[in-house]
Amino acid sequence: MNSLDPQTPLNALYEAKGTVHNRRIDGPFRRFKWAMMIVTLAIYYVTPWIRWDRGPYAPDQAVLVDLVHRRFYMFGIEIWPHEFYFVAGLLIMAGIGLFLVTSAVGRAWCGYACPQTVWTDLFQHVDRFVDGDRFARQKLDAAPWTWSKVARRAFKWSIYLFIGFWTGGAWIMYFADAPTLVHDFWRGEAAPAAYITVAVLTLTTVTLGGFMREQVCIYMCPWPRIQTAMMDEKSLLVTYKDWRGEPRGSVKKAEKHPGMFGDCIDCTMCVQVCPTGIDIREGPQIGCITCALCIDACDRVMAEVGRPRGLIDYATLEDCEAEAAGAPPRPAWKALLRPRTIAYLLIWSSIGLAMLFALGARSHAGLSVAPDRNPPFMLLSDGSVRNAYTLRLRNMATRPRRMSVSLEGLPGAAMWTDLTERADAARSLAVTVPADSTRSVRAYVVAPAATPQSEFSFAVTTLDAARESQRVVTNFETPTGERP
Ligand code: SF4
Ligand code: SF4
């Protein structure tokens, strides 16, 4: 972000910083970051275009939040509104997953997978592509505004807008059939909410990823503060090993005065490659998203000057203390397995297994019953009593299904519906429920004159090989109000 004038009142509120022009670097962590960026962006942009055959009665988009019909589709899973606990379970798993990752490898989420990090990384690559590497960009920033600079900026900001637009465009695809929505969008026939959402997301993507960048992580995001509370002396952090690096001195100085200087040659490569522009040699700080690019940079420098790698490395505070006292470096992976991370892993996998079991065991047919309250009963001319109910039959299968609805209890009673005649009243009847939907049926239950007020059940059973069923207990009201 461009620095503001230090004299402005706004700057009195926080430390003004110059634009971060991080330098290109290659190494294992940079390559891992590339892979994460490609995978996460591909998942985000491509997922709405994946098709998933659910038969002729349900949408064929693999991942879809169908707000109109109140369904959430995710490949073979379909969540209905009454099953929102699955979504709550997924959110809990995501939360515990973050606890697990943080306690094991510190702020790895921030460094590799957070959308702010991924899009910032993408925009920084655009900067590098258009304006060149660090020094070229610094030079261009400091140069006066010429037509060439205006053209470059216009080109770069057009790419920013293009990325922002596709980011917003991809988001709305999760809420409607993607090919249809694209067609409607470009013909101006999509819902106004689609255009407003794309406009807002274009603006926020460009602002947060293109211009504010590391300022979001340092000043706006609450997650670094929360993470700090979750980390302990056994959590992995990107650490500068000052006991090995200090005092700093160039290779020439070290050759002139053997034994006087540490391994850090003060080349500032670790600072130059840092996407948040911090100096890790000043110790752990909130601006470090643990992306480990400084490790790549320093390992490369150490290789060039013939010193062992790992002057900056992933390490726990506990290991740092031991190493500073003379113990050999402990491989970072050994810090991953400890009681706390194993406990998080067990909780996380238990919730996942419970959800998988619940998904596998759930019924795809259901019933809800709402008795009429006003009036609660009607006396018929032959002295019998009639109660009315609204039955809502649920068919979660992707094909129409015949279902039997029957009375259990209430001796001598029979029912008919708004689909049948009273003359056809019986203890059970069959209803066809369309695929992937609910059907409301008005049911009239009539019982002999002497029937006391009592409980009984409606039972629904699918008339197919699955024979799924559900019972719902309800009341039969009478003028006597007496229960047996
Ligand atoms: S890259 Fe390594 S050697 Fe260079 S300044 Fe950073 S810590 Fe020192
Ligand atoms: S200090 Fe190193 S690990 Fe931290 S953000 Fe900068 S480059 Fe990434």
Which of residues 56 and 39 earns the better pLDDT score?
39
For residues 127 and 118, is the Cβ–Cβ distance under 8 A?
A: no
Q: Which two tokens stand for residue 111?
A: 């460094």
| Helices marked H in 106-177 | 108, 115-131, 134-142, 147-173
pLDDT of the residue at 386: 95
| Protein residue closest via CA to atom 7 of ligand 2 | 274
Query: Is the distance from the beta carbon of residue 267 to the nearest atom of ligand 1 less than 6 Å?
Result: yes
pLDDT digits (tens, 9 = 90+) for 228-272: 777 888 888 899 999 999 999 999 999 999 889 999 999 999 999
Place of tokens 């590391």: 214
Relative to the CA of 279, which ligand 2 atom is closest? 1
121-130, 334-343, 443-452 — most confident range = 121-130
Mutate to test the pocket of ligand 2, among 25, 117, 291 (most ligand atoms within 8 A of CB): 291
Question: What is the pairing mode between strands 63-66 and 71-74?
Answer: antiparallel
- For residue range 163-208, list pLDDT tens digits in order: 999 999 999 999 999 999 999 999 999 999 999 999 999 999 999 9
The percent of residues above 90 in pLDDT, for the chain, comes to 70
Question: Residue 256: what are its φ and ψ, rounded to 5°?
Answer: -70, -40
Q: Tokens 């007496």 appear where?
A: 482
Question: Which residue's CA is the nearest one to ligand 1's atom 7?
Answer: 264
Give 370's strand partners: 390
Q: Report in angstroms the alpha-carbon separations of 367 from 26, 118, 319, 336.
A: 60, 45, 59, 48
Q: Which ligand is nearest to the CA of 276?
A: 2
Sign of the Cα torsion 337, 343, 346, 352 reads: negative
**Helix, strand, coil percentages in the chain from 3-state DSSP, rounded to 5:** 45, 20, 35
Determine the Cα–Cα distance for residues 181 and 199; give it in Å rounded to an integer: 16
Q: Find the ligand nearest to 214 CA.
A: 2
Which ligand places an atom closest to the C-alpha of 241? 1
Q: What are phi and psi of 234, to 5 degrees?
A: -105, 0
Up-side HSE of residue 271: CA atoms within 13 Å toward CB? 10
Atom of ligand 2 nearest to the CA of 290: 3
Least confident of 21-30, 323-332, 408-417: 323-332
| Residue 375: cis peptide before it, omega within 30 degrees of 0 | yes
- What b-and-e string marks burial along 446-459, b requiring 16 or more CB atoms within 10 Å of the CB? bbeeebebbebbbb
pLDDT of residue 484: 47
CA dihedral 430, 431, 433, 438 (to 10 degrees): -110
Separation of alpha carbons 410 and 376, rounded Å: 16
- pLDDT, mean over the chain: 91
Q: Hey, what domains does the chain have and what are their CATH numbers?
A: 9-50+114-230 (no CATH), 237-330 (no CATH), 365-476 (2.60.40.10)
Report the nearest atom of ligand 2 relative to the CA of 277: 6
Is the pLDDT reported for residue 11 higher than 70? no
Q: Is the CB of 269 under 6 A from ligand 1?
A: yes
Protein residue with its CA nearest to atom 4 in ligand 2:
288
Q: Is the dihedral of CA 224, 329, 24, 27 positive or negative?
A: negative
pLDDT for the residue 2:
42
Q: How many A from CA of 249 to the centre of ligand 2?
A: 22
Q: How far is it, in rounded angstroms, from Cα 453 to Cα 371?
A: 14
R_g over Cα of the chain: 33
Over 70: is that where the pLDDT of 79 sits? yes
Write down the pLDDT at residue 422: 87
How far CA 420 is from CA of 278, 306, 385, in Å, comes to 76, 91, 19
Region 461-479: mean pLDDT is: 93
